[in-house]
Structure formats: C-alpha cells, structure tokens
Structure 1
Amino acid sequence: MFYEPKNGHGLPHNPFNAIISPRPIAWVSTRGSDGRDNLAPYSFFNAVAYVPPQVMFASTSAKEDRGDTKDSVANIRDTGVFAINVVEYAARDVMNRTSGSWDRDTDEFALAGIDKADCTTIDCPRVANAPATLECKLTQIVQLPGVANFAVFGEVTGVHMRDDCLVDGAFDVTRFQPLARMGYRDYSVVKEVFTLKRPDD
C-alpha cells in the first residue's frame, strides 16, 4: 500500500503514529507564571544533542482556554523552563490520567496523586519518584506547519537519577522498564536490552 498524506490513507485509523514507534514519552512538568503546576505526557520527544545536552518535544493540539496551544507550551513561553520526567511501566496509569484535556487551573500532580518535588536549577516541579528527570531551560519554540504544532527545544541544566536505577555506574533501564508509545492507543515496555558494537569500536 502507498498513500500520500494530503490525499488521506483510507484506513479506519491513521497509521502514521504506528509506523514511527516505539517513541519515548516526555512527561513534561511546568509551573505557570501564576504559580500553578502542570504535568502532561508527550510522545513526540527525543534527545537532540550531546554538548550541551539538549532535548525537544512537540505539542500538536490546542485547548480553548489556552488559545493556540496547550498548558505545557503556554507555561514554557511564560517562564522559559520545564522538566522532562521519564515514565516507567509502574506509572502507566497515573501518566495516562494526566493526559486528559484538563482546564488550566488543574494541578495534574494532585489530580493523579503524584508526589512532586522541586527542581534544583529551575523554578519548576518534577515527579518525585521518576526514574530520571531532566531540568531544562528553553532555547527555542519553533512553530511547525499545521494548526497548533509547536516544537519546544531546551538545554538540560540538571539531571536527577533515582538511586536504584544506577548499577555499576551506569543508568540501567531494565531496573524500571521505560514505557514507550506505539500507535493508536497502544504502548510498549522495555524489558530486554542487548549491546551491539560499532565497526569503529
């Protein structure tokens, strides 16, 4: 099968997300200029540079009470900071709870019963028991083609790692089993890891 997205795919569900998978999930926490905290997951997310360490996530929809975007991007525009919390399999249900289109006054930490802690290098909350959290300072927001499509880039200024995830000096993902987004409403979990040496190793 071949299709051009501009002409539609003719299938019951859009296959695009399923083709580009698995995708890591950025559980983005922010604090608005009004002091209200927000937490929401985004699966268009990845690391984009080593030195300095940089990450990006994309928001692709809007809410009526935020105009052209969602709470996360609106807060980042106002404050210039955000945190990305790693989602483990054990947190799948509470993460999913925070994915709702809640009004801007809702604190998703409280809504889902998630413990929060303060970040160290930025004024922002983080998921207290996350396997890892990346504290980020905004470098740029890029408006992409289409309605409400924004890519947010940030430099990582602080890194939290849960002690039980460190094994012999390495961050071991098998200790917490990262959750990944597949297509549609499907998810996956990382349980096995293998190593491949590069030709120039």
Structure 2
Amino acid sequence: MSPRRSAGRARLAQLAAVVVVTLLAGGCGIDFSQTPPPSGGRPTPQVSFSLPIESTRSALSAALLKVGLALVDAPEGYRPAESPALAQAQRGTFKVVLPADPGALFVVIYQFADAATAAGAGQEAARYLASGPGQVQFPPDARFALAQYGETLLFAAWSPERTSDDETARAAFDTIAGFGLPIPVTR
C-alpha cells in the first residue's frame, strides 16, 4: 500500500470520526423542553399541608358542612389531568364524603406564590380543560368546578352519569362550583 493511499485513508477515517462525534454530540433533534410533564403515577402523599392549602380546605369544608357533607383527605392518591402550571404546583387532595358513592367527588387544592400567579394558572387550566387533550381525560358529561381562593386554586370534576347518588353529589358539586372566585371552563 502506498504512503499516499494510507494517508488518504487516515484523513477519511478522521473525517468520519468527526462526523460521528458531531452527530452524537448534537443529539437527535427532539426538543424535550416542549413536552408536558409526566402525569402518571401517584404523587407523594403530603404529611401536612401548607397554611394556604389548609386555609382553603377549612373554608371549603365549612361550606360543605352547611349542606351536610364532609371533606376528608383522599387516601387513595387521586390526580386528575392537569395543565403544566397545575402539574408543577404544590397540592392537597381531598374527597367529599358521599355515603352512597364514596369515590365520586375529589377536590384538589393547588397552591401558588401569590394570587396573581394563581389567577394566571387558573386561566391556563381552563384553556387546557376546554382543549381536546384536556377533554379526552374526562367522561363526556363531566362538569368542572375551577375556582380561585386567594393564592390557591381548587378543582373538582363530576360526571352525573357515573354517580349512584345524584342528588347528594349535585349538592356537593354545586357548593364547590360556587366557592371562591369561579373560573369558567367552556366545553
């Protein structure tokens, strides 16, 4: 083999190595910053709640007691479909005790840095719930209660067709829907 030919092969090998390294270092071109956070899995249960979440919980509990219902911690770890802002927020998950339908009505209270941030997150959540990806996460007849209470947002979804105690569930949902500053969700 001539020295000229082996030098040419060496340069070709070097060029191929540079191309391979460049491709590997450059990645595959997928922008993972645009993908939503994962929504699967159970969130870690909170041992105690922050003051804003506890305050909202107490006020909502008092409102529900007026219609004869109780709000308790949700031990089974419920997590609904969420907009990115809600997925990142600190939360407390609760359940309205419906004697004939124990798993029918969950309430999630989300905490934000301040009332303005909560308001913005509420608008984002309303848009998400009205979108195709948001709607397919719930039954077709689902109704949403989304409201701001200071620096917190509360969310509940209820499906009239999937409850065995329509009257009590409706009273609970209507109480939740009228709590705080309601944020309309258009389906």
Return the TM-score normalized by structure 2: 0.23
Greater Rg over alpha carbons, structure = 2
Which structure has greater strand proportion? 1
Normalising to structure 1: TM-score of the pair? 0.22
Would you tell me which structure has more helix in proportion to its own residues?
2
Q: Which one scores higher on RCO, CA 8 angstroms, separation ≥ 6?
A: 1
